[in-house]
Each structure stands twice: as C-alpha cells, then as structure tokens.
Structure 1
Amino acid sequence: MNKKVIIRTLEKIALYMELKGENPFKVSAFRKAAQALELDQRSLSEIEDVTKLKGIGKGTGDVILELMDSGKSSVLEELKEEVPKGLIPLMKLQGLGGKKIAKLYKELGIDSAEALKQACIDHNIQKLPGFGPKSEDKILKELMEFDSKPGRHPIWKTAEAVAAINEILEGITEVSEFSVAGSYRRTKETSKDLDFIVATSQPSIVKEQLLAALPVQETIASGDTKVSVTVEFQDPIDIDFRLVASEEFVTALHHFTGSKDHNVKMRQLAKSQNKKISEYGVEQEDGSIKTFNSEEDFFAHFGLPFIPPSVREDGRETDRIEELPELVSIEDIISDLHMHTVWSDGAHSLKEMIDACRSRNYEYMVITDHSQYLKVANGLTPERLLEQNGQIRELNKEYDDIEVLSGTEMDILPDASLDFDDEVLKQLDFVIASIHSSFQQPQEQIMERIHTAMKNPYVHMIAHPTGRIVGQRSGYDPDVEQLLDWASEYGKIVELNASPYRLDLAVEFLEMAQEKGVPVAINTDAHAIDQLEVMAIGVRHAQKAWLKRDNVVNTWPLEKFKAYLKK
C-alpha cells in the first residue's frame, strides 16, 4: 500500500458518492482528505499517524486505516454495488462530470450510454436546468463518436486484465505452464481481444476452475481444448484460452503470438527445408512431429536466432536478423531519467525511490519532480526545488553503488516561456521540459513552445513529446519531424515514456529519431516504486522500432551520459 493508491481510492469514493447524489459536504470530505495526503511531503511509511493529518476526519481516516490494513475499502465496495455500472463509462464523455451525471440519473433515470442517447434523441436533456439544446447536441455528438470507435482495448487496460488472469492461472495446480499470446505479447498499442496458452494434462479440470474464477459475462465457446469467454474487469473483453499438452506449449505459443505475416514467413522458411509448422509442432521430412523446450530451440531448428515477439510483425524481421544483436534489451538498461517523489505528486520519498532503483542495479538515476505551474501535481517552487536539490546532493554521498542526479520535469507554459529561469536550471544536473497544458493551441503555437525549450542550453530532454494517451487522446499535435530536427540541431534527448498509458513517442517517430541520430531515453515517469516495472514495456515498444542500444541513453555508462550533458 502506498500514498497514491490511497489518494486514488479516496477520489474514487468521492466520485461514486457524487454519482449517487450524496451530501456535497460528504463528497468534499473525501476530496479534502485526498488533497491532504497529496500535499504532505512524506511517504506513507514516514507519516506516524495518517489520521492526525489536517483535512482527514473520522470517516476518511477509517477508510485509510482499512486500506492500510486489508488493501480494500468496504465503503467503495458498497458504493460500487449501489451506483449503476452504466454511469461510470459516461465519465469518459467530455463535459459530463459527476454532478451532471448524477442529475441525469436522478431526474431522468439515465443509467447507461444507451439511455442517455435515447434521451438526447427525445430532446429530454435540454429540458433540464443547466443543460439546454447546445449541451444536448454536444452530448449526442460525443456519444456518436464514442460508438464509432473500433472495439480495441488500449494496452494499459489489457495489462490489468492480463495481471488478473496470470494470478488466477498461477493458483491452478493442474497448470504446468502458461503465457499470454497474441498482439498483447507483441506489445501492440491496442488489442481486440486476449489469447492465453495454457499447458496442462487435465484440461477439463483447468477449464472448470477458470470458468469459476473469472468474472465471466458470457461464455462464447467451451470445448475440450478451447474456452472463449467475455469477461469484465473494468470493461468487457473477449479472451481465448487454448489448453494444450506440455510438449505442444512452445509451438502453440509461437503460433498464437503471431503476427499473421510472421507466421506466413516462418511457414515458407519451413517449407524450403521440407518441414511443416503447425500449432502442435514441426512435421519433419519423415512425417514425425518435433516439439521444443523453448522458443529459442524452435527458432534454432530453422537456423535462426531468437526473434523477440515485439518485432514479429510484417514478416520482414527474418531479413533483419543481423540487427538483432544490436537491439536494445531490458538487460541493457542501467538508468531511469524521469520519476517523481512525494515532493510533488509521487507516492514515495527520495530515499525510497533511490533504494528501489538500487534494487534494479541501476548505475544512475534522476529525480524529476514537477515544476510550480502544475499546481494539481503539487509542483515545486524554485525555493522548494533548490531545497530538494540540496537534499539529493547530501543523500548521494551515502551511496557508492548508484549516482543520484538532481533534476526537474519543468512545464513549457502556454505563452511559450519556461516555468523556471536559467539561474535555477543551471544548478540542476538534468532538466526535462514538458507540455501539460493548452493542448488545443494551433500547431504553430505548440511548436513555438517546444522551440523555446529546445533553444534553452539548460534543457536536456523533451518528455512525452506528443502528449498522447494510448486509445484515449491523440495529444497536442506537434510537427514531430520538425521537433526531431530541432533535437538533432540543439543536441537534445527525446523521451520514450514507458508508461503503458503513453508509449510516447509512437513507433513511427522512434524510427524517425533513430534515422536522424537523435538519442532516445526510455523512462518510466514512475510516480510510485511499482511503476518502475513499466521499463520492460517501454523496452519492448522500443524494439518494435528496432532501436539500437547505442541510440538509447539509458544504456550509456554514467561518464558517457555526463559527457553528453556537458556537450
């Protein structure tokens, strides 16, 4: 349990209460408690008694203590039962907050997107105080666009489902081996559904336990070796489970990982060697079926090195075999240059983040809390930043196994100025510049803002350069090629933000960065210790662009990194 989990839970309780139409003072109490925790510059382990914090009362304190004790909130669970599930997706519609949705539910009985759409068509929305014809038209337009979006799930949503299913499969003793397959294993940004390969000698028992443990909305198919279900974790998603014998596991995993083009290319290669690939194994010239202990063995059988799932896309990967040894891998990563602590909106202290990076055997790291403009993230004033800078310098003296660098994630402001002046910036080791506001500005203004940061001699990196959220928003629409040309001209680093929410830059732009010789940093943007783990997703995303380790800053030894910053 950490501060961020508690803050999110308190905010979620406030939202559900608002949707239920609870007393506004009660709703406000949970939001104030969340803010009190957010603004406290200590991690959870450093706060002696969290219930004594100003802004946390008896009710909110009890919720926090229950979360710390059990990891769950009975208040939230009860609210989830009481509030219609169909109201939650309506929060995704622009212009509809908790209060307005609660009003629609109370006054018109609207409890789903379908009911809201019909109310718009019947012109019932405009009759409510606070709405009107324009609001009604806007809601209907939003609903139409929402309906037209393809039925694909962003990786940050499917990651939650995969984690839950992994936990279920780990608990079934009759399962000897399992893995997610399909587009998720290839680290595609979105997936239509999920595929799991499960090795077992008792498929009927495994099937029975799976169906009992999963939150099944609908069973699509249920045979001896395949189970297809629609499950609902947050949103409904279709999942195929293929139950195979242990000896078939590797070839089944390869087959159902895909892609289609990769499999076609592998079948053609097998045919040229008088062999035939199927999900059950490889048929030899004499008709026997060969199986394998690992995918490495499978590829070696055809005279190939292991091809990572992330690059198995267009079939041309077998023509780029000589590049594979140069491809960046998770083992190459020795640093993380973008993370947050309790000084701004992170969950853990400086020391806790340092110890977490030490446990990952990193050679160096950078603390980069938000700047003052981002008040919602408790951004640091110049005074607080320099105070933190001093603490980092002192802490760094305690360690001989990691170098802790002082930095900031500084906002590029809407008027194309920077959030800190040069007198502050030159006292730091590493400066990130980011856009977090005014996304709707014309591209010309966006590029003016980015150019300001690029020209500044104390700025080292542009973070999440397009501002996108995978499957949710496209960002602020910069001219990425121009951005990369400036990065090349001014000697800046561009970020691949490894958060599955962002994966920013996208693959096509990472390819462009490498072609232009612009160094890329793969960073977690971690706001809590557990988020440091997303580095692995970031590396796989980088592999999709065939990024070489030498082009990835996080693989550079400390001296090379420092020399680049000085240059």
Structure 2
Amino acid sequence: MALHNSEIADRFDRLADLLEIEGANPFRVRAYRNAARTVRGYPRSMADLLADDVDLTELPDIGDDLAKKIEGLVSNGELPLLDEVEERTPPALSELMKIQGLGAKRVRALHEAINIETLEDLRAAVESGQVRAVEGFGEKSEDKIRRRLKKFSGKDERIKLSEAEQIAAPLVKYLEKANGLKEIVVAGSFRRRKETVGDLDILITAKTKNNVMEHFTSYEDIEEVASRGETRSTVYLRCGMQVDLRVVPQVSFGSAQHYFTGSKDHNIAVRKLGIKKGYKINEYGVFEGDKRIAGETEKSVYASVDLPLIPPELRENRGELEAARENQLPDLVRLEDLRGNLHTHTDATDGRNSLKSMAAAAAEFGLEYLAITDHSKHLKVAHGLDEKRLKQQLQAIDKLNDELSGIRLLKSIEVDILQDGKLDLADSVLEQLDLVLCAVHHKFDLSKQKQTERILRAMDSPHCHILAHPSGRLINRREAYDIDLEKILEAAAARSCAVELNAQPDRLDLTDEGCRMARELGVKVSIAADAHSARGFDTLRFGVDQARRGWLEADDVLNTRPLKALLEILKR
C-alpha cells in the first residue's frame, strides 16, 4: 500500500528536524521542510500523480533529488537517508522540536548537556530542575517548557481535512467495487467539512446479496480489524485512523445520514423539535409511535419538523435551525462562484512557475483574473522583491497582459507587516499596484495588545486592501498568534479592508467562526489559493468548504465579483 501524503511529509519533516539538530546546512534543512509542506498540502496523492506519469518536479520546492526520494517512498516506503541519520542521532529528538520554543539548537543543547532524548526524559528533567542549569535556559525557560509540556499530547488526535480526504478517497473507490453496493456516503465531521477529522463514518446501502463487509475488511491499508458483523464493522488503518462502516436499509438511509453526519448538538436540537410534535427521531427514521413516517431521505427528516434541508456544513447548532425556521438560511457560496484568485506566487520569489505559466493555469481553472502577490523584501527566506525587482515584475505583467486573452493579471504584492505596523515597502511603490495583500510573517510572540495594534496600524495604510491569513496559524503545527479578531474585523469594516480566507489546507485561516464574524460586520472575505505552483488552484475548494461553514454567501466573498466591480472596490 503506497504511503499517504501525510506519511511522506512526516518523514521529510523528521529528516529536517534531525539534520537541523545536527547543525546541517540550513538550505538543506529548509529544502526538506518545504518539500514536506508541499506534499502534505497537495490535494492529490503522490501515488496518484506518479501513476498518471506526472513530473513531480512541477510541484513547488520539489527538484530532481526530492522527486526521486518521493518515488522511493511511494514504491517501497523507504527513505535511506533518514535511516542513515537516525543511526547517528536519536530519532525521538525530533519529537522535542514539537514543543513550542524548543528549536534545534536548544534540543541539541539539552541532549549534549543532560542527555535528553525523549519527551519523558524532558519531563523528568524539568521536574528535577535539571533544565534550568543548562546554559542558555534558566528558571523562566524551564517553567515555560513545563507549561507547554502539559498542553502537548505528543500526537494529533485529529488530522487535517485534506489528509482525511486522501485516506477516504481511495477507500471509497475500493468499496465501490464491492458486489451489491448501491450508495455510499462518508458522514461525520468529514461531511460537515470541518478543518480536522477524527475518524471516518461510512454509510452504505446494498442489495440483499452482497460481499461488502468481507470486501471492506480485506482492504490492504488495514492494520487491525476491531470488529466485523453483517451490518457494521470497525477497523484501524495503518495511519491509526478508525473507520466504521455501516450497512443501512434504504428506507433509513436519509435518517442514518442525518444521525451520523451530526453534529451531536445539531441532532439533539432536531430531536427536541420532533418530541414537541410527538415524534421520535433516530438513525432508523422518524417515528410516530411504531409507524415510520420519514427517513428515506434527509429532506424528509427535516420536513417532518417543518424545516427545509439544512446543508451539512451548517449543522453545528449555531443558529441554523432558527434561520431555517424563518427561511433565512444563507445561499452558501460555491466554487463556481469564484471569478479570480487574489494570492499567487511565482518563481520571482518562492513560487515554482513563471508569470506566464501561472496565468495559463489560472485560465484553465476557469478564473478571469489573477493577482500576482509575490513576497516583499523583508521575507528574505522567500527571496522577497525589493523596489527594483518589483518594478521589473510590473513591467512584465503589463507586457503579458497585452498578450493574454480571457484572463487579466493584477499588479499586486504580499507585503510584510513589520513589527511596528509599518508596511515593508514605501507608499510611493504601493500606490502603483492594483492590490496590496498585507501579512504578518515574523514576531508571532507579541502580546495580544501589541499584535492587534500592529495589524491595526498596517490597516491604517490606504494601500492595505486585504489582510492575509489573519491568525498565522498552521493546523496541528503552529498555534495562532494572539489577536483580538473582533477588534481587527471592526477596524477592517471601518477602513473598507477585506480579510483573507487562506485556502491552503494547513492554514484555512480565517476559521469558520471568523468568517461568520466578518459576514456579520460587513467585511468582505477573499477566498485565496495562496498558489505557489501551476497546480496550486485546486486548494480553493477547501477554502470554499470553510467559507460555507462560516455562512458566507457569494456576495460576502470579494473574488466572486467580475473584474470591473473588483477594481472599483479596491479603490477604497
């Protein structure tokens, strides 16, 4: 069974950690980290790409050497360099770097000074007071590590939606080949499109004669069959994820979908509405006494309590039942509503492809306009543009726009918000652009007040059109920096700024709650791919999922506008 993208990325991340602990060349370390990021966030599995003869070097940050390493991992699960490094450096040291504040140098210092190799070693050393005695640490550092250890579980219990999709998609494709299978739905938080997923609940209907359970429990990615029955089986996959498969009668398929999609709070609220009408609502149907009166479709379940069908993304008991009762459910945004992408990188900074290639890919995806937002000069790790290089890019955009048909490139930049809230480029430079995307890329540890004030000062600039990835979080990897989001969104509304919903699967930033807050305050949201390669626009669908969970309609989204209307809005 080929490794999932997350498993390949984990190996690259561990290799990068251990090399960094050893003091290896920073560019070499960064290459493996960037490769891990690319693979982990890519919407298609590496195995599928190789099966389709896709050249992996077309992916961001993947050169010939890394492409060969990915091929080896896909074909036999082996990464010889990692094995070699683990022989000389304890592999458990990589886990220590997951503790916020423990970088490679500090992990190496702890290892060399007091022989720390594992999380348990670190916990014991903290409690015995040994850490404070290590040069460069002290009592305050030891106390910070103690508090962070208490929050750290060591393993993420929920995985990102994109990773769950890479696990679910081949499994569903496999199950569809079972004899007698009729319909199949992956329910649970996966169907509600939550940004993280704990396990998979799969529902099917089948003919009386079928081999579904036998077929399911023979899946090659299964580590353990926990239970197997005629109508329900539970397995654990090699990656550790639990999968429950249920065969349900056709007459109960709708009520089963409703029940197992959840959320729990939403289902309880619906059941209470049923009780008021004298009905019992469960996974088998809607019953009046012993008589089933609904349940074959989800629509019939909701109709039994006088409600229209509520989209799965809204089922969190956050006002959707009341909105449905008043016929006020939002007409949720769809992928096909998007007219352009307002966050794109090229090979001028940390992207993989040229201006022309990115324009062609966006046009093929169906977009009408594309903002080229390479990084500004402060982000040296991404080879950010200074004034001279930006001017050259603007000239290239003008020239290419004269040649293009069907798509327009916007002259833009992703400009760093400096610690004092100033923007990384002068007003005289920014005023030449169609759009300015402003972002925090450093000093994540400022206090809530200082971080909030920093962003507010940046939005005071008349050139700040969109605040990019507002919280800076990386799901399961980096916590959001501390900000007063409501205050920032109120300021955005007052200044006619938009905020970004970054569709990268490891960001999905804004959160769904943030999207809804923006909508209520009248702040437009840009659903942005943050594309670093010609294949990078596929992530937009994850942004749309998040936007739908945040109740956003097409009118709430900035880049659903045609180009002329967008340019009018950007005039601020």
Matching of residues 283-432 of structure 1 within 5 Å: 283=287, 287=291, 292=296, 295=298, 299=302, 304-314=307-317, 316-321=319-324, 322-324=327-329, 326-432=331-437
User: 2: CA distance between counterparts of 1:29 and 1:560?
Assistant: 43
Aligned to 2:451: 446
User: 2: CA distance between counterparts of 1:213 and 1:17?
Assistant: 30
What does the per-residue CA deviation read over 1:413-447, in whole Å, with 9 as the maximum and x for residues that have no partner? 11322111122112211111111222233444434
SS at match of 2:329: helix
1:282 is displaced (CA, Å) by 4.4
Residue 192 of structure 2 is aligned to residue 186 of structure 1 = yes
Q: More displaced, 248-257 or 380-389?
A: 248-257
- Scaled by the length of structure 2, what TM-score is found? 0.79
User: 1: CA distance between counterparts of 2:126 and 2:34?
Assistant: 39
Q: More displaced, 280-289 or 110-119?
A: 280-289
Amino acid at match of 1:165: A
- Alignment partner of 1:256 out of 242, 246, 260: 260
Aligned to 2:218: 209
Residue 166 of structure 2 is aligned to residue 160 of structure 1 = no
Contact 1:454 1:492 (8 Å CA) reproduced: yes
- Alignment partner of 2:484 out of 479, 482, 503: 479
When residues 115 and 245 of structure 1 are mapped into structure 2, their CA distance, relative to the original with a 3 A threshold, is: farther
When residues 80 and 262 of structure 1 are mapped into structure 2, their CA distance, relative to the original with a 3 A threshold, is: farther
1:8 is displaced (CA, Å) by 9.9
Q: More displaced, 475-484 or 71-80?
A: 71-80
Amino acid at match of 2:511: A
- Alignment partner of 1:278 out of 266, 276, 282: 282
1:352 is displaced (CA, Å) by 3.0
Gaps of 5+ in 1: 39-47, 51-55
SS at match of 2:437: strand
- Alignment partner of 1:490 out of 470, 486, 495: 495
1:61 is displaced (CA, Å) by 6.0
Q: More displaced, 411-420 or 488-497?
A: 488-497
1:554 is displaced (CA, Å) by 1.8
Amino acid at match of 2:557: V
Q: More displaced, 315-324 or 263-272?
A: 263-272
In percent, how many aligned pairs have the same letter? 37
When residues 558 and 88 of structure 1 are mapped into structure 2, their CA distance, relative to the original with a 3 A threshold, is: same
Amino acid at match of 2:123: K
Contact 2:501 2:510 (8 Å CA) reproduced: yes
User: 2: CA distance between counterparts of 1:297 and 1:350?
Assistant: 51
SS at match of 1:209: coil
When residues 296 and 357 of structure 1 are mapped into structure 2, their CA distance, relative to the original with a 3 A threshold, is: farther
Aligned to 1:117: 123
- Alignment partner of 2:17 out of 15, 31, 42: 15
Contact 2:349 2:385 (8 Å CA) reproduced: yes
Contact 1:340 1:368 (8 Å CA) reproduced: yes
Aligned to 2:28: 30
When residues 86 and 177 of structure 1 are mapped into structure 2, their CA distance, relative to the original with a 3 A threshold, is: farther
When residues 347 and 248 of structure 1 are mapped into structure 2, their CA distance, relative to the original with a 3 A threshold, is: farther
Amino acid at match of 1:280: Y
- Alignment partner of 1:538 out of 536, 539, 543: 543
Aligned to 2:150: 144
User: 2: CA distance between counterparts of 1:533 and 1:467?
Assistant: 21
Aligned to 2:231: 225
Q: More displaced, 551-560 or 219-228?
A: 219-228
Contact 1:155 1:500 (8 Å CA) reproduced: no
Matching of residues 238-249 of structure 1 within 5 Å: 238-244=242-248, 248-249=252-253
User: 1: CA distance between counterparts of 2:9 and 2:375?
Assistant: 18
What does the per-residue CA deviation read over 1:183-239, in whole Å, with 9 as the maximum and x for residues that have no partner? 2332334555443334553243134224x41345xx655444334455563xx5544
User: 2: CA distance between counterparts of 1:379 and 1:121?
Assistant: 44
- Scaled by the length of structure 1, what TM-score is found? 0.79
When residues 178 and 389 of structure 1 are mapped into structure 2, their CA distance, relative to the original with a 3 A threshold, is: farther
User: 1: CA distance between counterparts of 2:555 and 2:428?
Assistant: 33
Amino acid at match of 1:88: S
Contact 2:123 2:149 (8 Å CA) reproduced: yes
Matching of residues 510-521 of structure 1 within 5 Å: 510-521=515-526
User: 1: CA distance between counterparts of 2:476 and 2:27?
Assistant: 33
Between the two proteins, the alignment pairs up a number of residues equal to 533
SS at match of 1:197: strand
Amino acid at match of 2:265: D
User: 2: CA distance between counterparts of 1:301 and 1:473?
Assistant: 44
What does the per-residue CA deviation read over 1:289-316, in whole Å, with 9 as the maximum and x for residues that have no partner? 7664x64566567664432111111174
User: 2: CA distance between counterparts of 1:7 and 1:429?
Assistant: 36
Matching of residues 45-56 of structure 1 within 5 Å: none
User: 2: CA distance between counterparts of 1:266 and 1:310?
Assistant: 16
User: 2: CA distance between counterparts of 1:543 and 1:285?
Assistant: 37
1:12 is displaced (CA, Å) by 5.4
User: 2: CA distance between counterparts of 1:266 and 1:478?
Assistant: 35
SS at match of 2:145: helix
SS at match of 1:489: helix
User: 1: CA distance between counterparts of 2:29 and 2:316?
Assistant: 45
SS at match of 1:369: coil
RMSD (CA atoms): 4.1
User: 2: CA distance between counterparts of 1:323 and 1:360?
Assistant: 32
User: 2: CA distance between counterparts of 1:428 and 1:272?
Assistant: 59
Amino acid at match of 1:144: K
Q: More displaced, 362-371 or 542-551?
A: 542-551
When residues 62 and 159 of structure 1 are mapped into structure 2, their CA distance, relative to the original with a 3 A threshold, is: closer
Contact 1:177 1:246 (8 Å CA) reproduced: no
1:371 is displaced (CA, Å) by 0.8
What does the per-residue CA deviation read over 1:493-541, in whole Å, with 9 as the maximum and x for residues that have no partner? 1222233333333344433322332222222223334543332232232
1:180 is displaced (CA, Å) by 3.0
SS at match of 1:483: helix
1:28 is displaced (CA, Å) by 6.0
User: 2: CA distance between counterparts of 1:80 and 1:241?
Assistant: 40
Amino acid at match of 1:548: E
SS at match of 2:499: strand
SS at match of 2:403: coil
Amino acid at match of 1:185: R
Contact 2:373 2:414 (8 Å CA) reproduced: yes
1:257 is displaced (CA, Å) by 0.7
User: 1: CA distance between counterparts of 2:431 and 2:267?
Assistant: 53
1:332 is displaced (CA, Å) by 1.9
Amino acid at match of 2:146: L
